Homo-oligomer: A and B are copies of this chain.
C-alpha cells in the first residue's frame, strides 16, 4: 500500500468548445508538463466531466427548450429554471425523487444523482443558457483520452472521468468517477487478510471514486483546472467499466 499520494493539476488546457479534439489537447498538455513531471506507472489521469461534455457537444441550449407543465410548476415553486428541469426530466431514465426543490434521477448510464448530472456552471463565457449533459458513454470518453496519451507519449495512463455528486444524508458534493479506462474502479479486498490476519468479509474500496475526490481538491470548484494527475494511489490496472460500480436496482435499498 502506498504511503504517499499526490494530486497535481495539469496546466495548459485552454477553454474547451464543442468539436475540440479533447484527447489530443490533453495529450499535448501532458506532453508539455512531462518535462517537470515525468509520468510514472502509478499515475492516474482525472478529467472533469465538464470539459468532456463540452468537447463532445453534450450540451443543450435552454432557449430551444419548451418545458412541460410539471417542470414549470416545480421550477416556480422552488425558484429554479423550468427549462433546465425539463432537460433533466427528458434525459432521465427514471425519476427517483422530485421534492424539496431537488430532482434526483437515474440516468441512462445507471447513475442516480441530482439533476441527472446536468448543470450550468462553467460552460464558458457568455453561455448563461447552456447546460452540459453527462457524456453519452464516459468509459469510451476515458478510453479515447487514454489512447491519445498512449499515442502521443507512449505511456499507458489510466483515465478517470469525474463529476461532482451529492449524497443522501450528508450536505455537500464530492467528486466520483463516472467513466474509467485502464483501471479497475473497485478494489475488492474480500477474502484477503486484514492487519491482524483476519479475513475481511465486506471491504470493497471504491478506489476510482477516492482518486476522483483527490483530484477535486486540486480542480477547485471554479473549474480553472479540469485535469489532474493522481500519483501513488494503490489501484489495479485492468479493463474495468463504470457499470461495475453501479448497484443494480434489485440490490439497492434506496431507489
Question: Which residues of the partner chain B approach A254 to less than 8 Å between Cβ atoms?
Answer: 97, 168-169, 254
Given A122-B194, A196-B127, A234-B220: A3 and B225 interface contact (C-beta under 8 Å): yes
Which residue in chain B gives the minimum CB-CB distance to A230? B217
Which residue in chain B gives the minimum CB-CB distance to A123? B196
Q: Mark A187-221, 1 if CB is under 8 A from B, else 0.
A: 10100111111101101111101110110111111
Point out which of A127, A195, A254 has the most chain B C-beta atoms below 10 A from its C-beta. Answer: A195
Complex Cα–Cα for A128 and B125 (A)? 59
Complex Cα–Cα for A125 and B164 (A)? 39
Which residue in chain B gives the minimum CB-CB distance to A126? B196
Q: Does A34 contact B (CB under 8 A)?
A: no
Question: Which residues of the partner chain B approach A224 to less than 8 Å between Cβ atoms?
Answer: 1, 195
Chain A contact-residue range equals 35 or more
Contact status A1-B218, CB under 8 Å: yes
Kindly identify, within residues 3 to 56 of chain A, every residue whose CB is under 8 Å from any CB belonging to chain B.
3-9, 11
Contact status A121-B203, CB under 8 Å: yes
Question: Which residues of the partner chain B approach A168 to less than 8 Å between Cβ atoms?
Answer: 112, 168, 247, 252-255
Given A194-B121, A247-B169, A254-B168: A4 and B218 interface contact (C-beta under 8 Å): yes
Give the residue of B111, B123, B203, B244 whose beta carbon is less than 8 angstroms from that of A169. Answer: B111
Kindly identify, within residues 94 to 133 of chain A, every residue whose CB is under 8 Å from any CB belonging to chain B.
97, 99-100, 102, 104, 111-112, 120-128
Question: Which residues of the partner chain B approach A172 to less than 8 Å between Cβ atoms?
Answer: 185-187, 204-207, 209, 245
Complex Cα–Cα for A79 and B246 (A)? 24
Contact status A8-B3, CB under 8 Å: yes
Q: Does A233 contact B (CB under 8 A)?
A: yes
A117 CB to closest chain B CB (Å) equals: 13
Which residue in chain B gives the minimum CB-CB distance to A199? B121
Question: Which residues of the partner chain B approach A200 to less than 8 Å between Cβ atoms?
Answer: 121, 221
Can you list 24 A-B contacts (CB < 8 A)? Answer: A1-B218, A1-B219, A1-B224, A3-B9, A6-B7, A121-B198, A124-B196, A126-B196, A164-B205, A167-B206, A169-B252, A169-B254, A170-B176, A170-B247, A172-B186, A173-B206, A174-B213, A195-B224, A200-B221, A209-B213, A210-B217, A211-B217, A217-B232, A217-B233
By a beta-carbon cutoff of 8 Å, the part of chain A in contact with chain B is 1-9, 11, 97, 99-100, 102, 104, 111-112, 120-128, 164, 167-176, 185-187, 189, 192-198, 200-201, 203-207, 209-211, 213-214, 216-225, 232-234, 244-247, 251-255
